[in-house]
């Protein structure tokens, strides 16, 4: 434990182990840094940019930046809260997210972050893109309208399931998630219990026939904001 | 009959040792031999390489020069960068659309011709221009494009296009047997560093007489900074790479010159390939690499054979290969890695991804390429011009070099000048030169603005004409576009934004989504629907994209908007003041109704213009 790293987040001193990222160190210290594409157990991706913090004044994604001695990290500032709202807004208007009809409502990290950041309506105009659905698989469906291109399914399939069910195709605004079969998800070796399906932060990958098994009102984010579990874990210690 | 698809793919994969990291080369060859990388071809590659098919689709769909659907035998790409549009690229496009009976983006029913736009192909000083398969066709005058197509239509066999389309070869090595290009070098001013004559081996011999550490010290003493635009000290980059742990190291030359308005690397590659290869060999010696890669942009494929020939010559002379120049134990060779049409691959980590046979997505940093680069090994990525400077520094000494230019920016810089001036072309100038001096040099009469550093750089106006070109003032990778008084800066900014929207890799949210929004709002103002609050919106959105983006592309992509807001604010304000109704939201009812009108086959009676 001798080589523990000491750094500050929003003026508070915290400690990190060598190799830990800012996000991981913060989490251990009970400081929640909002994130979407990051997921425990998966390699860091750095695509959503929601975890952007200022490190010694420079913007960095907390999920990819290793903690280093003496770092001064800004996290919960007006500027960064606004930046994150802007990013979340972009993800909303880029796709077709209709929370009121979505099976994932209350369990959705995008929705939960919007609530936490106080978004009532996006500041940017909706794009209303035309996106494809894929219901070819007997147990899982893909609704790209709700996809935020976080790559959690891509990584989880490779890193946790030992498969290659998903991948990205296209570039720029035309980028989308594809599956490893021309005929659709049904042609792949995906299974309903794959970690890749559970990894989806939104309602883009869902198991069929269990959409409302947990009733609205009893879902993860129905009673407390996303990130509370991290903040509470610390205060209970 | 001919070989089956399976056989063709198998042979191609074998040519690359069935190595997954050569997937970009494999896909390029499949596209060349089979016309496209369609779904069955994807399955074949997946089978031979034992990799998931989605990885191949992922790669193919990323690059502009790879296709999953058949294209015309003759593929015409009209360059639509800003200088080309200023010289009438859109007129060329409509001329060809009419002649071929198709729209841009389509292929003729007989499968002979495809027509599309390309981002800057590196001929902005010879605009308007086009790329026809691998053939550069510069200076398209009224009617010449049409005549060219008519000639091709008359021929049944569409082979040896150069003989059909090109009458005169350009100057210098453009007329070389292995180049045979109509491009001109347009070297208007040759300096001492890059464009001076060189003798093969002059710099290399001196380098090999020193220790690698001494070579790095020499480069550090010269205060050479990277010519790609960011200006990182080259000596330091090499020191980091040399110091990093690894059993192999790589020196990669970034010849993906993609910043619109830049074409100086094309001229270097045409006229001074040996200077570049010499710089690479010195770099390899300095960092302890045995392998060098030149990442050559797909648009410059016509130079490949010529460059391969120059490499072969160097091998013959003992300047490459085992025991270079007789130096016991120093082995170094260079391979050319072709790109496939993606601006983002000029970003060093995206370039490495591309070399590894992946999508050209930038990588997360840290780790930096110096520690964890190509195939996970310590790698130094350097610009073409930087490596040429290296060879010259070793030849003539760091003291000689650092006496040229300004204290913070030593040496010379190649400028690629295009736009509204009488003498567009390549100029080698010492750093520290004033913009006004540059205008005088290229004979730009009464310019209104200049875009320094391409779309990712800055648009500056008259107030800035006394500023200097150097890393600490107006930095540029080489691109300099001049705009006369009759140009519309907002229209130019919008075209630059279109470029970034097209070239964003889509990996991170702010760049993928934000740039689309930025362009949309700019176009709203351009269309006469601007409101006063739109300026604040553009500013804030632009700053968010800059701050949150993952790589240099996103971090600079809002510059066309942010720098015109700064230098040409009145151009925005006039547009807004003149808007027909400043209270209106910019919501276009007609266009919102258009889908429904098309579907129903009826026109809305209430809302006609």
User: Residue B160 belongs to a domain with what CATH number?
Assistant: 3.40.30.10
pLDDT for A3: 82
Q: Based on the domain organization, do A113 and A185 belong to the same domain? A: yes
Percent with pLDDT over 70 in chain A: 97
Interface confidence (ipTM) of the complex: 0.97
Mean pLDDT of chain B: 95
Instruction: Work out the minimum CA distance from B167 to partner chain A, whole angstroms.
Output: 38
pLDDT band at residue B606 under the 50/70/90 scheme: low
Question: Is A19 within 8 Å of chain B by CB?
Answer: no
With 0-12 / 13-18 / 19 or more C-beta atoms within 10 angstroms meaning exposed / middle / buried, residue A47 is: buried
- Output the CA torsion B351→B356→B358→B359 (10° steps): 0
Q: What stretches of B209-322 show up as alpha helix (H) in DSSP? A: 212-222, 234-243, 264-271, 273-287, 304-316
Asked whether residue A163 is domain-assigned, the answer is yes
Segment B276-284 shows an average pLDDT of 98
Average pLDDT value for residue range B322-336: 97
In B449-514, alpha helices (H): 489-503, 509
**A159 and A114 together in one domain:** yes
| pLDDT of res. B411 | 98
The tokens describing B383, both together, are 């610009």
Domain assignment present for A213: no
Residue B180 lies in a domain: no
**Model pLDDT, residue B441:** 98
How confident is the model at residue B596, as a pLDDT? 86
Confidence at residue B577, expressed as pLDDT on a 0 to 100 scale: 76
What residue of B is the nearest CA neighbor of A176?
A: B506
Residue B155 has pLDDT above 90, yes or no: no
Is the pLDDT assigned to residue B159 strictly greater than 80?
no
**Does residue B271 lie within any of the structural domains?**
yes
Share of chain B above pLDDT 70, in %: 97
Question: At which of B452, B483, B514 does a domain end?
Answer: B483
Domain that holds residue A189: 84-207
Contact A168 B53 (CB under 8 A): no
Query: For chain B, what is the domain count?
Result: 5
CA B598 to CA B505: how far, in whole Å? 33
Q: Report how far residue A60's alpha carbon sits from residue B258's, in angstroms, rounded to the nearest whole number.
A: 26
Based on the domain organization, do B97 and B220 belong to the same domain?
Answer: no
Residue B581 pLDDT grade (very low, low, confident, very high; cuts 50, 70, 90): low
The mean per-residue pLDDT over the stretch B216-230 comes to 95
- CATH number (domain holding residue A102): 3.30.70.20
Residue B391 shares a structural domain with residue B266: yes
Of A13-17, B163-167, B464-468, which gets the smallest average pLDDT?
A: B163-167
Considering the domain architecture, whether residues A50 and A98 belong to the same structural domain is answered as no
Identify whether A100 is part of a domain. yes
In a domain, B602, yes or no: no
Instruction: Give the pLDDT score at B583.
Output: 56
The percent of residues above 90 in pLDDT, for chain B, comes to 89
Query: Are B273 and B297 part of one and the same domain?
Result: yes
How many whole angstroms separate alpha carbon B292 and alpha carbon B283?
9
Helix axes B569-578, B559-567, angle to 10 degrees: 90
**Shortest CA gap A48–chain B (Å):** 5
* Residue B217 domain flag: yes
- CATH number for the domain that contains residue B226: 3.40.50.11540
Give domain status of residue A174, yes or no.
yes
B57: nearest CB among A91, A94, A178: A178
CA distances from B468 to B275, B447, B473 (A): 27, 16, 6
3-state SS assignment for residue B115: strand
Subunit contact B513:A94, Cβ cutoff 8 A: yes
CATH code, domain carrying A38: 3.10.20.740
Say whether both A133 and A188 belong to one domain: yes
Tell if the CB–CB gap between A48 and B509 is shorter than 8 Å: yes
* A29 close to A72: Cβ distance less than 8 angstroms: no
Shared-domain flag, residues B395 and B424: no
pLDDT of amino acid B466: 97
**Rounded to whole angstroms, what are the CA distances from B64 to B67, B77, B299?**
7, 11, 11
In a domain, B608, yes or no: no
Together in a domain, B466 and B343: no
Tokens 């996006």: give the residue: A122
- Which of residues B402, B421, B441 is at a domain's end? B402
Same domain for B499 and B417, yes or no, is no
The answer to whether residues B440 and B465 belong to one domain is yes
Assess whether A134 and A193 both reside in one domain.
yes
Contact B366 A66 (CB under 8 A): yes
Bond from prior residue into B128 cis (ω within 30 degrees of 0)? yes
Averaged pLDDT, A108-130: 96
* Confidence tier at B302 by pLDDT (50, 70, 90): very high
User: Are A118 and A70 part of one and the same domain?
Assistant: no
Q: Where does a domain end: A57, A76, A95?
A: A76
Is the model's pLDDT at B1 over the cut of 60?
A: no
Residue where one domain finishes, among candidates B167, B198, B220? B167
pLDDT in tens, B338-353: 999 999 999 999 999 9
Whether residue A49 is predicted with pLDDT greater than 90 in this model: the reply is yes
Is the distance from CB of A38 to CB of A51 less than 8 angstroms? yes
Residues A31 and A95 in one domain: no
Identify the band that residue A67 occupies on the pLDDT scale cut at 50, 70 and 90.
Answer: very high
pLDDT at position B143: 87
What is the C-alpha separation between B343 and B346, in angstroms, rounded? 6
Size of interface A-B (CB pairs under 8 A): 119
Predicted pLDDT at B602 = 85
Whether A29 maps to a domain, the answer reads: yes
Reported confidence tier of residue B161, pLDDT bands at 50, 70, 90: confident
Flag whether A180 is in a domain.
yes
Residue B466's domain comprises: 405-483
Does A65 share its domain with A92?
no
B213 and B355 housed in the same domain: yes
Query: Tell me: the pLDDT tens digits for B90-137?
Result: 999 999 999 999 999 999 999 999 999 999 999 999 999 999 999 999
Give yes or no: residues A181 and A90 share one domain: yes
Q: Do both B128 and B192 map to the same domain?
A: no
B133 shares its domain with B255: no
Q: How far apart are CA B299 and CA B137, in angstroms?
A: 12
Among the partner-chain residues A86, A127, A148, the one whose CB lies closest to the CB of B544 is: A86
What is the domain count for chain A?
2
Structural domain includes residue B375? yes
**What distance in Å separates the CA atoms of residue B562 and residue B555, rounded to the nearest whole number?**
12
The yes-or-no verdict on residue A237 having pLDDT over 90 is no
pLDDT value at A1 more than 70: no
Question: How do residues B237-249 score in pLDDT, each as one tens digit?
Answer: 999 999 999 999 9
User: A52, A76, A100: which is the final residue of a domain?
Assistant: A76
For residue A83, give the nearest of B54, B366, B544 by CB distance: B544
- Using an 8 Å CB-CB cutoff, list chain A residues near B549: 49
Selected residue with higher pLDDT from B480 and B603: B480
Q: pLDDT at position B594, please?
A: 85
Structure tokens belonging to residue A34: 């909002």
pLDDT at residue B229, rounded to an integer: 80
**Claim to verify: residue A118 and residue A61 sit in the same structural domain:** no
Residue A195 counted as domain residue = yes
E-only strand ranges, B155-245: 187-189
Region A193-213: what's the mean pLDDT? Answer: 97
Predicted confidence (pLDDT) at residue B608 exceeds the cutoff of 60: no
Give the nearest partner residue to B54 out of A65, A87, A167, using CB atoms.
A167
Nearest-Cα residue of chain A relative to residue B51: A164
Q: Which residues of A touch B55 (CB under 8 A)?
A: 164, 167
Is the same domain home to A65 and A112? no
- pLDDT tens digits, B540-576: 999 999 999 999 999 999 999 999 999 999 999 999 9
Please write the tens of the pLDDT for every residue from B352-411: 999 999 999 999 999 999 999 999 999 999 999 999 999 999 999 999 999 999 999 999
Residues A123 and A157 in one domain: yes
Do B340 and B431 belong to one domain? no
Same domain membership, residue B118 and residue B28: no
């Amino acid at each position: 434990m001798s080589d523990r790293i000491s750094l500050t987040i929003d003026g508070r001193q915290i400690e990190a182990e060598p190799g830990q990222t800012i996000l991981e160190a913060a989490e251990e210290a009970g400081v929640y840094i909002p994130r979407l594409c990051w997921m425990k157990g998966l390699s860091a991706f750095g695509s959503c940019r929601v975890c952007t913090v200022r490190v010694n004044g420079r913007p960095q994604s907390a999920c990819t930046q290793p903690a280093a001695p003496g770092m001064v990290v800004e996290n919960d500032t007006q500027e960064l809260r606004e930046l994150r709202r802007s990013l979340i807004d972009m993800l909303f208007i880029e796709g077709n997210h209709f929370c009121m009809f979505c099976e994932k409502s209350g369990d959705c990290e995008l929705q939960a972050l919007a609530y936490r950041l106080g978004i009532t309506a996006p500041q940017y105009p909706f794009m209303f893109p035309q996106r494809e659905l894929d219901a070819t698989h007997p147990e899982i469906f893909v609704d790209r309208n709700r996809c935020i291109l976080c790559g959690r399914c891509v990584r989880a399939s490779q890193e946790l399931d030992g498969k290659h069910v998903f991948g990205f195709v296209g570039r720029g605004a035309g980028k989308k998630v594809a599956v490893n079969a021309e005929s659709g998800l049904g042609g792949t070796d995906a299974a309903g219990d794959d970690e890749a399906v559970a990894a989806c932060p939104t309602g883009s990958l869902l198991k069929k026939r269990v959409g409302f098994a947990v009733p609205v009102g009893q879902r993860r984010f129905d009673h407390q904001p996303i990130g509370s579990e991290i903040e509470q874990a610390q205060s209970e210690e | 009959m001919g070989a089956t698809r399976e056989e063709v793919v198998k042979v191609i994969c074998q040519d690359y040792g069935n190595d997954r990291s050569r997937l970009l080369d494999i896909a390029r060859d499949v596209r060349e031999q089979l016309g496209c990388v369609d779904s069955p071809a994807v399955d074949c590659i997946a089978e031979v390489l034992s990799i998931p098919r989605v990885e191949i689709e992922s790669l193919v769909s990323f690059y502009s020069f790879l296709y999953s659907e058949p294209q015309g035998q003759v593929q015409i790409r009209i360059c639509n960068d800003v200088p080309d549009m200023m010289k009438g690229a859109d007129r060329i496009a409509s001329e060809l659309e009419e002649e071929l009976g198709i729209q841009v983006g389509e292929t003729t029913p007989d499968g002979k011709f495809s027509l599309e736009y390309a981002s800057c192909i590196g001929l902005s000083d010879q605009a308007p221009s086009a790329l026809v398969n691998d053939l550069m066709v510069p200076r398209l005058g009224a009617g010449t494009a049409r005549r060219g197509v008519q000639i091709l239509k008359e021929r049944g066999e569409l082979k040896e296009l150069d003989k059909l389309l090109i009458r005169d070869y350009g100057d210098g090595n453009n007329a070389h047997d292995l180049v045979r290009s109509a491009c001109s070098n347009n070297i208007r001013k040759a300096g001492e560093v890059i464009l001076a004559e060189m003798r093969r081996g002059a710099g290399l011999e001196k380098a090999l007489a020193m220790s690698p550490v001494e070579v790095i010290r020499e480069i550090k003493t010269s205060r050479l900074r990277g010519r790609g635009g960011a200006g990182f000290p080259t000596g330091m980059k090499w020191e980091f790479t040399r110091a990093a742990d690894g059993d192999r190291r790589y020196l990669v030359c970034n010849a993906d010159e993609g910043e619109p308005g830049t074409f100086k690397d094309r001229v270097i590659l045409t006229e001074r390939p040996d200077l570049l290869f010499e710089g690479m060999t010195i770099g390899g010696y300095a960092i302890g690499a045995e392998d060098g890669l030149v990442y050559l942009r797909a648009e410059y494929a016509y130079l490949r054979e010529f460059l391969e020939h120059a490499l072969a010559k160097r091998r013959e002379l003992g300047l490459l290969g085992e025991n270079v120049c007789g130096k016991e134990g120093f082995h170094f060779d260079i391979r050319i890695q072709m790109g496939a049409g993606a601006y983002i691959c000029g970003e060093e980590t995206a370039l490495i991804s591309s070399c590894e046979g992946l999508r050209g997505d930038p990588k997360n940093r840290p780790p930096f390429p110096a520690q964890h680069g190509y195939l996970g090994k310590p790698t130094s990525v350097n610009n073409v011009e930087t490596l040429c400077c290296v060879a010259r520094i070793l030849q003539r000494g760091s003291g000689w070099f650092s006496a040229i230019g300004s204290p913070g920016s030593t040496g010379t810089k190649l400028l690629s000048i295009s736009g509204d001036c009488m003498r567009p072309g390549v100029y080698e100038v010492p750093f520290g030169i004033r913009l006004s001096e540059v205008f005088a040099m290229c004979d730009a009469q009464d310019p209104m603005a200049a875009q320094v550093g391409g779309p990712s750089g800055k648009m500056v106006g008259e107030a800035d004409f006394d500023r200097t070109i150097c890393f600490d003032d107006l930095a540029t990778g080489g691109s300099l576009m001049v705009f006369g008084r009759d140009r519309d800066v907002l229209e130019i900014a919008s075209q630059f934004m279109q470029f970034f929207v097209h070239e964003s890799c889509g990996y991170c949210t702010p760049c993928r989504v934000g740039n689309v929004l930025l362009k949309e709002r700019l176009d709203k103002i351009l269309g006469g629907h601007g409101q006063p609050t739109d300026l604040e919106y553009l500013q804030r959105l632009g700053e968010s994209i800059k701050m949150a983006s993952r790589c240099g592309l996103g971090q600079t992509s809002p510059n066309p908007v942010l720098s015109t807001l700064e230098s040409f604010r009145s151009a925005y304000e006039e547009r807004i003041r003149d808007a027909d109704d400043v209270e209106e939201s910019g919501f276009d009812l007609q266009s919102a109704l258009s889908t429904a009108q098309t579907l129903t086959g009826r026109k809305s009676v209430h809302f006609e213009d």
